[in-house]
Chain A
Amino acid sequence: DTAVSQTPKYLVTQMGNDKSIKCEQNLGHDTMYWYKQDSKKFLKIMFSYNNKELIINETVPNRFSPKSPDKAHLNLHINSLELGDSAVYFCASSPVYSGPFGTQYFGPGTRLTVL
């Protein structure tokens, strides 16, 4: 299937640990994103990468470090996890970067629980 996929689907870990969430898209898109779903169910953009280069970093703590080994992958690494990091994280992609105007295709989400 052509899609945006994320692994793992669920992640439960202790405070202070370091964890990664992987994202892959086989749609041939140039741009990938990470969103965090907050308690009000809004999806807030965290990062945007275009052709492996960072173009948006929305005031996210340094503990969050995205890595894009190629334009089909955008992984999210989180150091020293905190309770407030518990959320659902969504990966998305779009054919090109068009800011807030373009159609984005979303993965299924990763539910992170920090204990």
Chain B
Amino acid sequence: KQEVTQIPAALSVPEGENLVLNCSFTDSAIYNLQWFRQDPGKGLTSLLLIQSSQREQTSGRLNASLDKSSGRSTLYIAASQPGDSATYLCAVRTIIQGAQKLVFGQGTRLTINP
């Protein structure tokens, strides 16, 4: 059974700090892991996707790592800005009972204080 957990549930930091969001999953049989951000009332914005054979992906100030064997991923945000305030979700793509599914964590609500 695949379960995705994100820690912490909420995080508030001053502008300019570097920070790490954590994601863990219980079943390592995944196709890929994806980090999203969600702004209030809006859809999911894809940030980074890491295939199961990859170790990390980088986009601008974001770096995501994947350790499939230990069931962990981290999202590193450098030099945080108020515009980074959002809920960050990680999701693993897997096959459950023969059907392709995307399993999401509960999210980390990030607040960057000016």
Instruction: List A residues at the B interface (Cβ < 8 Å).
Output: 3-6, 35, 41-45, 56, 58-59, 90, 99-109
Partner of B102 from the list A42, A56, A99, A108 (CB cut-off 8 Å) is A42
Assess whether B43 is in contact with A44, with CB atoms less than 8 Å apart: no
Assess whether B49 is in contact with A44, with CB atoms less than 8 Å apart: no
Assess whether A58 is in contact with B100, with CB atoms less than 8 Å apart: yes
Residue B46 CB within 8 A of the other chain = yes
A to B CB contacts below 8 Å, 21 in the list: A4-B43, A43-B91, A43-B103, A43-B104, A44-B100, A44-B101, A45-B99, A45-B101, A58-B99, A99-B31, A100-B32, A100-B93, A100-B95, A100-B100, A101-B32, A102-B49, A103-B49, A105-B43, A105-B46, A106-B36, A108-B41
Chain A, residue nearest B31 (CB): A100
- Residues in A neighbouring B102, C-beta threshold 8 A: 35, 42-43, 45
Chain B, residue nearest A59 (CB): B99
Assess whether A42 is in contact with B46, with CB atoms less than 8 Å apart: no
Residue B51 CB within 8 A of the other chain = yes
Instruction: List B residues at the A interface (Cβ < 8 Å).
Output: 31-32, 34, 36, 41-46, 49, 51, 91, 93, 95-96, 99-104
What is the interface of chain B mostly: helix, strand, loop, or mixed? strand
- Residues in A neighbouring B104, C-beta threshold 8 A: 41-43
Partner of A103 from the list B34, B95, B96, B100 (CB cut-off 8 Å) is B34
